[in-house]
Amino acid sequence: MTNNRTSDTASGGRGRRTLHPWRIVVFTVVMILILMASFAAGSLVRRPESTALENRDIAVPVTARAELREVQEVLALKGSVVSGTTVPLPALSASAPDATVVTDIAVGPGDSLSPGSYIGSIAGRPQIVIGDDVPLYRDLKLNDTGADVARLQKSLRRMGYQGIPTTGKIEAVTLEAVRLIYAKAGLETPGKTKDDTTFRWLDFVQIPGDSGRVIRASTVASRVSGDAPLVLVQTSPNTITARALILQADRLPPGTPVKLKWPGGESSSIVEAVSKLLPADSGATKPAGKDVTIKLSDQASGLPPGQDVDISLPTVGKAVLAIPLISIQHDAGGAFVEVLPGADGLSSASTSPPVPRKVKITVKTQAAGWAEIEADPSLPAGTEIRVP
């Protein structure tokens, strides 16, 4: 028995001695290498926050390019047709005499009037158009003189009676022209002979500017008054008026072509006039600005007063040299842009950091974030420029 235990003990002792200590060394070395590799890898992997913090002071250049493109700001206004200036003929007041019945009417809406035109009669008295520069205040007979006579003679000459001298004295030839005016209208001439003819001033009416178009006429047997004249004459054509803000009005000087559009039609026209600066109206329907008056084109001539019309600038469709507005800088010398080194084909042998080249520019127009600039050989289309 004792021998067997001794043998087992000896055998077990030999088993423990065969655990190979070199394996422990290898294991330890491997673990150390793994730890070293992990540390090295960890030093190469960087957190985004660390990268952002380190790069916070690094400026990222922002660039743009000069381009060939259209630069036109959209301009749209709302306008409406406005009736032209009208005058009543004759200009009767509310205190006119009772003898105001219309005994004849010779014209109607749409007819044109000018010196010599016979309109009609009120209580048997004819109403004939004469030049607006003739002072009407007295009857004129043979040998009457005065400044009003000279004016009458000049008016008669403009009407085609060229043989009349402008002497300022009523002569037979002057009265003969007066008789012809009545005769052409189919009226009885005042006086049996040219020597006893009288220029009866109450038989004549005047139109500012000497011409106009009838837009309303009374009827025979009706009565005329200040509110219902024999005829209502329009002395200026209908126009389109639109309220524009100051900057908009500055783009619409007289003569500017515009496009008109209304329900069922469109046409082209031009700006006729721009008013002075006007305040906003009491109803706040029109802002402070300027009234732009636009000629009513032939296509739009039939539009009634009050008709709404859309107004815009015609599209030019022309490509121009342009740069983004955000690339423009200013100094004491004016506007400029910075061209990046190499962007203009120039290179530098210097090893120092490149410096952008300053190029002066002249801005012509700007719209929609772009500025049209004058052509410059040193700034062709495609040039890369710095955005500050």
| Number of residues that this document lists for the chain | 388
Same domain as 160, residue 26 = no
- Does position 51 have pLDDT exceeding 60, yes or no? no
> Does residue 54 fall inside a structural domain?
no
What pLDDT score does 318 carry?
A: 79
Cβ atoms 93, 208 nearer than 8 A: no
Tens digit of each residue's pLDDT (9 = 90 or more) over 196-253: 899 999 999 999 999 999 999 999 999 998 889 999 999 999 999 999 999 889 989 9
Cis before residue 253, ω within 30 degrees of 0?
Answer: no
> Does residue 381 fall inside a structural domain?
yes
What pLDDT score does 28 carry?
A: 77
- DSSP symbols for 120-142: EEETTEEEEEE-TTS--SS-B-T
Same domain as 246, residue 264 = yes
> Does residue 55 fall inside a structural domain?
no
Owner of token pair 């060229």: 162
The percentage of the chain sitting over the pLDDT mark of 70, rounded to a whole number, equals 82
**Residue (of 332, 327, 331) closest to 385 by Cα position:** 327
Same domain as 224, residue 146 = yes
- Does position 29 have pLDDT exceeding 80, yes or no? no
Give the helix ranges, DSSP H, for 45-103: 48-54
**Token pair recorded at residue 243:** 């309220």
Tens digit of each residue's pLDDT (9 = 90 or more) over 58-105: 556 688 888 888 787 778 899 999 999 999 999 865 445 567 999 999
Same domain as 194, residue 132 = yes
Cβ atoms 114, 133 nearer than 8 A: no
Owner of token pair 């203009």: 344
The percentage of the chain sitting over the pLDDT mark of 90, rounded to a whole number, equals 54
What pLDDT score does 312 carry?
A: 92
Measure Cα distances from 282 to 171, 276, 279, 285 in Å: 59, 18, 9, 8
Same domain as 341, residue 380 = yes
**Token pair recorded at residue 88:** 């009543």
Tens digit of each residue's pLDDT (9 = 90 or more) over 155-189: 999 999 988 999 999 999 999 999 999 999 999 98
Same domain as 149, residue 165 = yes
Tens digit of each residue's pLDDT (9 = 90 or more) over 128-145: 999 999 999 999 999 999
Owner of token pair 């082209």: 268
> Does residue 226 fall inside a structural domain?
yes
Same domain as 230, residue 105 = yes
> Does residue 188 fall inside a structural domain?
yes
How would residue 346 be classed by pLDDT, with cut points 50, 70 and 90? very low
> Does residue 56 fall inside a structural domain?
no
Q: Determine the Cα–Cα distance for residues 359 and 356; give it in Å rounded to an integer.
A: 9
What pLDDT score does 8 carry?
A: 47
- Does position 262 have pLDDT exceeding 70, yes or no? yes
Same domain as 353, residue 248 = no
Considering 312, 329, 344, which residue would you say is the last residue of a domain? 312
**Residue (of 149, 127, 124, 128) closest to 138 by Cα position:** 149
Measure Cα distances from 228 to 93, 96, 102, 217, 234 in Å: 10, 12, 11, 9, 15
**Token pair recorded at residue 362:** 């002249």
Domain count, the chain: 4
> Does residue 57 fall inside a structural domain?
no
Cβ atoms 155, 131 nearer than 8 A: yes
How would residue 347 be classed by pLDDT, with cut points 50, 70 and 90? very low
Averaged pLDDT, 50-61:
58
pTM, entire model:
0.60
Give the helix ranges, DSSP H, for the chain: 2-16, 21-44, 48-54, 147-158, 172-184, 246-250
Averaged pLDDT, 302-322:
88
Considering 259, 284, 312, which residue would you say is the last residue of a domain? 312
CATH number at residue 349: 2.40.420
Exposed/middle/buried for residue 204 (C-beta within 10 Å: 0-12, 13-18, 19+):
buried
Measure Cα distances from 286 to 180, 242, 243, 262 in Å: 53, 9, 7, 20
Structural domain for 119, as ranges: 88-234
- DSSP symbols for 148-196: HHHHHHHHHHHTT-TT----SB--HHHHHHHHHHHHHTT---SSSSSSS
> Does residue 99 fall inside a structural domain?
yes
Same domain as 270, residue 177 = no
Q: Which residues of 352-387 are buried (b: 16+ CB within 10 A; e: fewer)?
A: eeeeebebebeeeebeeebbbbeeeeebeeebebbe
Same domain as 159, residue 103 = yes
- Partners of 242 in the beta sheet? 79, 292
**Token pair recorded at residue 173:** 């030839």
Same domain as 351, residue 253 = no
**Highest mean pLDDT: which of 33-37, 55-59, 258-262, 360-364?**
258-262
CATH number at residue 302: 2.40.30.170
Same domain as 139, residue 230 = yes
For residue 89, the Cα-to-chain-centroid distance in whole angstroms is 37
